[in-house]
A and B are shown apart, each in its own frame.
Chain A
Amino acid sequence: MNYNTLDSAAIIKKLYQKKYEFTLENGKKMDIPVKGALGLISMGYQGLIAWRKKKQESDKLQDKKN
């Protein structure tokens, strides 16, 4: 992989296009809370982007209501 040719903007765009699903220890799907959770950010970039996406969706919903 040639790191010098990677395009940051394209990578960020893809990160937000991806669907994030996390599974809990008991096998159940994890709900991503709008307020976030330590467990989510401890996962690293995937948890962070999933949380930011959730916040964006929630903000959009709020804007529509207003």
Chain B
Amino acid sequence: MPQLAKKVLLIGWDSADWKIINNLIDKGMMPALESMINNGVMGNLSTLEPPFSPILWTSIATGKLADKHGILGFTEPDPSGAGVRPITSASRKVKAIWNILMQKGFKSHVVGWWPSHPAEPIDGIMISNHYHHVTASQEQWKMASDTIHPENLSELFEHLRIHPAEFTDEILLPFVPLAAKIDQSKDKRLYNVAKILAEASTIQSASTWIMENTDWDFMGVYFDAIDHFCHGFMNYHPPKMKNVSEEDYELYKDVVSSAYRYHDMMLEHMLKIAGKDATVILISDHGFHSDHLRPYYIPDEPAGPAFQHRNHGIICIKGPNIKKDEIIYGASLLNITPTILTLFGLPTGKDMDGIPLLQIFDKPVSIETIDSWENVPGDCGMPPSDKIVDPVEAQKALQQLIDLGYIEDPGKNKIIAAQKSEEELNYNLVRVFIGSNRNQKAIPLLEKLLSSKTDEGRYAVRLARGYLETGNYTDCEEVINNFKDNVKNKLLSIEEINEIKNQVIPEDLDEKKKQNIIYENHSKLRKNGSYINYLRQIDLIYTDLLISKNESAKAVTIIENNFADQKHSPDILIKLGNAFINMKKWDKALECFQNALKIDPESEHAFHGLSIISLNKKEFETAANYALDAISLNYYYPYAHFHLGEALYQLKDYANSANAFEVCLKMVPDFGKARNRLIKIYKECLEKPQLAEKHKKYFEKKQEPSLLDDNDKTELYKDAIYSTKHIALKDPIIIVSGLPRSGTSLMMQMLEKGGMEIFTDNKRTLDENNPRGYFEHEAVKSLARNNKWLSQVQGRAVKIIAQLIQYLPARYNYKIIFMERDIYEIVSSQQKMLVRDGKFKAKSYPGGLDMIYSKQVENAKSWINNRHNMDVLYLNYKDAITDPLHIAEQVNSFLNSSMNINAMVKAIDAQLYREKNK
């Protein structure tokens, strides 16, 4: 296998989310990332279950799910009997990418990866995740042992740490401009800003030293600061949340945006040091709700704050052999390590749960596999499993997790603390199984957990769901009823709640006792809130059970009566939509899914629902597109693959249909309906009886459900291609393109007059420069990062300038009317327009624009000509003015339309050709 990267820089930004980034890039506030996007590929990165950072970053570094890699939570029982300790690198059971690379002679350095303490003895520098956390005052801030490998560099890296006490107002004011108003003796939030900022800067300081002063092939750097800033300050981020005071909002509204901007500044320097020949991969493990979907309620359970996380993280890759300016679909955390192996020309382990992202490369890349990297002998720098972590130092690191709300304070009873920690690890393992469609493995563990804590809502909810999804309706109903019975008598009455809230604490009581009473009362109310929350969730599962048992009308009644206060929640709308689908009330279902998308435009379940509705309406192209929308948001969505397969089957695209069913079955092998359809396609449509026979045998063998078949990993990628592949559509998107001032508005005007529906928001109104209007839409400007709106344009015309044309996704058909005009006339016209608008002084515009524009037009034309899904008609602006009839007829014929030619001709106002006449 050829090596495709000279060196690889992998940067992790925990919790980074495109929603905030796109907004900042549009405002020009993240130029470094913008340049990375323009020179590479970008996309969503699907997270995994449970979305807890130590688990996720280990899956990123190993390409394996947590049941294989062994990191199952934030803490683990301390083998020395000291209660619990933060999860350590010693608990990782498999090789990380740096261990594999070491065995193949590549030099790796790793900074801050979670979890990487104690630092692993790799053939390079490793700085553990305990390095940067500020745990004491500046004078008392000592670095824990085993933080740095090799140890002789400890003094250097200890010196390169930054303590928040070093910061001045100059540094903090961009985050909190009104910091002077804060009484820091009462409000610790400003200190927290300084602390998180210092921790990020420490990682940057150590990383830049390593990158500039040592040789490296692989450099992995992990920043946790965006996650910490978001957990602490996202509720103050605009728009203001109802439960946030005006004063707090004004003080802290800039923190999250500033955090992103600061990361962009750090990125700029890292890119500079890495050099142009480096392959740079920027990722996050999950996103973070930043808009109206921010939760008002955080569940009262361990790792509750993870409720604020969003399912999609970010991925952006640039470097040699990587495509430019493209959006990739279907990437998951599990793909990162296999992709890095491919970049270094190394085979992927068949025991890895992920596959390489071959769609990022600008030419076809073949991959190889080996059974497992675990079997490759020799030193790989893994930490010895018996490494003892100092319990005092472990306690300091533990406090950080408690402060962030990721874990409960384990208390002083070490035995109970260790038991609780073990229980959490088991529960997280359950979530790993559920998240990878292995309900059968999760159910016995859940049964055991619930039997020991019958009122634990999260266990009951997941067990009921597990039974439901495996078709065991009887046990599902029993869990629901038992949980309700168990909790019913534990709920506080209104009188009891009021009594707790109004309790007067005697003033003469000592402070500790007062605090205990307050804590106990708070705990009682939180516990009660938790019961109420889980009772509602269990009620919702009951409605799903009813839907599964074809009692949808009853389900709808329950939802409408009991969940009226949540009628605007996407989850409730999707549940209702599914019930209406079951009742064949298509219009009502359609309304529910459309409303869900208005609230959350990235709801894969809503797109999936729309796909099912379209299938039933026999609108197969639309159904396929909605299924693709769902898949592009969450590739591991077997039912969306199934309905895509159904739609393609109806469209007689049998090869792609078979691919869709194959992917679906690799995710859910027991999905009989999909397998039956596949057998039919292979037998009757594709004439591949041997493949039909292979699937028939599955039924005979009744294999145990499992995750992806290891031997089929490489084939899965081939299957994955179809999710971005062009699917024939009856209604193409009509695009009017060209350079600004080349006559694009004029052509839009002709189309509108001719009867074509135009995609415009009319935000840019007519003016002296374009007296008939611009016919533009704001969404077009962000085409490079967001193309979802294109689904609304089918059969309509939209204006997209030549520079943006290359961002059009491959899955639609396009008819492009490309307007051409003399470059000098264009430059002159633009200059006059800017002078008229007061943006430029006359004759002050930069030279050389004509050459740049010519090149851009050339690039756009070459790009269009290489696409199979684009028809193009080149028209000259001058001809449109001088011979509008001929042009109108040409356009009408090109679009296979029957437009009003006379009206189109009348749309031409010769006076518009002012530049020519002047």
Check if A and B associate. yes
A9 to B152, CA, bound (A): 10
Question: Is B154 a contact of A8 with CB atoms below 8 Å?
Answer: yes
Given A1-B215, A42-B204, A48-B201: A36 touches B209 (CB 8 Å cut-off): no
For window 9-23 of chain A, which residues contact chain B by CB distance below 8 Å? 9, 11-12
- B157 to chain A: closest residue by CB: A8
A8 to B159, CA, bound (A): 9
Q: Chain B residues with Cβ under 8 A from A1's Cβ?
A: 214-215
The listed residue (A5, A6, A42) touching B269 by CB distance below 8 A is A42
Given A12-B159, A38-B171: A45 touches B152 (CB 8 Å cut-off): no
A35 to chain B, nearest CB (A): 4
The listed residue (B167, B206, B269) touching A36 by CB distance below 8 A is B167
B547 to chain A, nearest CB (A): 52
A12 to B150, CA, bound (A): 16
Tell yes or no: B457 within 8 A of A by CB: no
Tell yes or no: A61 within 8 A of B by CB: no
B44 to chain A, nearest CB (A): 27
B397 to chain A, nearest CB (A): 23
Question: Is A11 a contact of B171 with CB atoms below 8 Å?
Answer: no
Number of residue pairs spanning A and B whose beta carbons lie under 8 angstroms apart? 79
- A51 to chain B: closest residue by CB: B166
Q: Chain B residues with Cβ under 8 A from A36's Cβ?
A: 166-168, 170-171
Question: Is B269 a contact of A9 with CB atoms below 8 Å?
Answer: no
B226 to chain A, nearest CB (A): 14
A6 to B150, CA, bound (A): 9
Question: Is B155 a contact of A48 with CB atoms below 8 Å?
Answer: no
A63 to chain B, nearest CB (A): 19
B429 to chain A, nearest CB (A): 37
B152 to chain A, nearest CB (A): 6
Q: Chain A residues with Cβ under 8 A from B168's Cβ?
A: 35-36
Tell yes or no: B812 within 8 A of A by CB: no
Tell yes or no: B174 within 8 A of A by CB: yes
- B270 to chain A: closest residue by CB: A44
A5 to B159, CA, bound (A): 18
- Scoring B residues 151 to 168 as 1 if CB is less than 8 Å from chain A, else 0, what string do you get? 011111101101000111
- Scoring B residues 193 to 212 as 1 if CB is less than 8 Å from chain A, else 0, what string do you get? 00000000100111111001
Tell yes or no: B572 within 8 A of A by CB: no
The listed residue (A6, A33, A48) touching B160 by CB distance below 8 A is A48
Given A35-B168, A41-B201: A5 touches B207 (CB 8 Å cut-off): no
Question: Is B170 a contact of A4 with CB atoms below 8 Å?
Answer: no
Question: Is B205 a contact of A44 with CB atoms below 8 Å?
Answer: yes
A33 to B173, CA, bound (A): 15
A20 to chain B, nearest CB (A): 13
A12 to B155, CA, bound (A): 9
For window 717-741 of chain B, which residues contact chain A by CB distance below 8 Å? none
Q: Chain A residues with Cβ under 8 A from B201's Cβ?
A: 41-42, 48
Q: Chain A residues with Cβ under 8 A from B155's Cβ?
A: 8-9, 12
A9 to B155, CA, bound (A): 7
Q: Chain A residues with Cβ under 8 A from B206's Cβ?
A: 45
Tell yes or no: B125 within 8 A of A by CB: yes
Tell yes or no: A37 within 8 A of B by CB: yes
Q: Chain B residues with Cβ under 8 A from A6's Cβ?
A: 150, 152-153, 156
Question: Is B207 a contact of A44 with CB atoms below 8 Å?
Answer: yes
Tell yes or no: A27 within 8 A of B by CB: no
A4 to B166, CA, bound (A): 31
- B261 to chain A: closest residue by CB: A38
Q: Chain B residues with Cβ under 8 A from A11's Cβ?
A: 156
Question: Is A42 a contact of B265 with CB atoms below 8 Å?
Answer: yes
Q: Chain A residues with Cβ under 8 A from B208's Cβ?
A: 43-46
Q: Chain A residues with Cβ under 8 A from B166's Cβ?
A: 36
Main secondary structure of the interface of A (DSSP, over half): helix
Question: Is A39 a contact of B265 with CB atoms below 8 Å?
Answer: yes
For window 22-65 of chain A, which residues contact chain B by CB distance below 8 Å? 33, 35-39, 41-46, 48
Question: Is B169 a contact of A35 with CB atoms below 8 Å?
Answer: yes
A5 to B871, CA, bound (A): 64
Q: Chain B residues with Cβ under 8 A from A35's Cβ?
A: 168-171
The listed residue (A3, A41, A44) touching B171 by CB distance below 8 A is A41
The listed residue (A3, A5, A8, A38) touching B262 by CB distance below 8 A is A38
Given A8-B156, A38-B262: A3 touches B170 (CB 8 Å cut-off): no
A39 to B32, CA, bound (A): 14
B148 to chain A, nearest CB (A): 9
A44 to B204, CA, bound (A): 5
- Scoring B residues 256 to 277 as 1 if CB is less than 8 Å from chain A, else 0, what string do you get? 0000001001101100010000
Question: Is B262 a contact of A42 with CB atoms below 8 Å?
Answer: yes
A44 to chain B, nearest CB (A): 3
- B208 to chain A: closest residue by CB: A44
Question: Is B152 a contact of A44 with CB atoms below 8 Å?
Answer: no
A43 to B272, CA, bound (A): 10
B809 to chain A, nearest CB (A): 34
Q: Chain B residues with Cβ under 8 A from A43's Cβ?
A: 208, 269
Question: Is B262 a contact of A44 with CB atoms below 8 Å?
Answer: no
Q: Chain A residues with Cβ under 8 A from B269's Cβ?
A: 42-44
- B156 to chain A: closest residue by CB: A8
A6 to B124, CA, bound (A): 12
Q: Chain B residues with Cβ under 8 A from A44's Cβ?
A: 204-205, 207-209, 266, 269, 273
Question: Is A8 a contact of B215 with CB atoms below 8 Å?
Answer: no
A1 to B214, CA, bound (A): 7
The listed residue (A3, A41, A46) touching B162 by CB distance below 8 A is A41
Q: Chain B residues with Cβ under 8 A from A8's Cβ?
A: 152-157, 159
The listed residue (B207, B209, B214) touching A3 by CB distance below 8 A is B214
Question: Is A3 a contact of B205 with CB atoms below 8 Å?
Answer: no
A6 to B210, CA, bound (A): 12
Q: Chain B residues with Cβ under 8 A from A42's Cβ?
A: 201, 204, 262, 265-266, 268-269
For window 854-908 of chain B, which residues contact chain A by CB distance below 8 Å? none
Question: Is B171 a contact of A37 with CB atoms below 8 Å?
Answer: yes
A46 to B201, CA, bound (A): 12
For window 95-118 of chain B, which residues contact chain A by CB distance below 8 Å? none
A46 to B212, CA, bound (A): 10
Residue of A1, A11, A43, A45 ringed by the most chain B CB atoms within 10 A: A45
Q: Chain A residues with Cβ under 8 A from B265's Cβ?
A: 38-39, 42
The listed residue (A3, A33, A39, A41) touching B150 by CB distance below 8 A is A3
A41 to B203, CA, bound (A): 11
Q: Chain A residues with Cβ under 8 A from B268's Cβ?
A: 42
A12 to B59, CA, bound (A): 36
A45 to B127, CA, bound (A): 15
The listed residue (B152, B205, B212, B266) touching A5 by CB distance below 8 A is B152
Additional A-B contacts beyond A41-B171, A41-B204 (16; CB < 8 A): A1-B214, A8-B152, A8-B156, A35-B168, A35-B170, A36-B166, A36-B167, A37-B170, A38-B171, A42-B201, A42-B204, A42-B266, A43-B269, A44-B269, A45-B205, A45-B209
Q: Could you name 25 residue pairs across A and B whose Cβ atoms are closer than 8 Å? A: A1-B214, A3-B124, A3-B150, A4-B152, A6-B152, A8-B154, A11-B156, A12-B155, A12-B156, A35-B168, A35-B169, A35-B171, A36-B171, A38-B265, A41-B201, A41-B204, A42-B204, A42-B268, A44-B205, A44-B209, A44-B269, A45-B160, A45-B208, A48-B162, A48-B201
Residues of B within 8 A of A (CB): 124-125, 150, 152-157, 159-160, 162, 166-171, 174, 201, 204-209, 212, 214-215, 262, 265-266, 268-269, 273
6 tightest Cβ-Cβ pairs between the two chains A and B: A44-B208, A8-B155, A42-B265, A8-B156, A35-B170, A35-B168
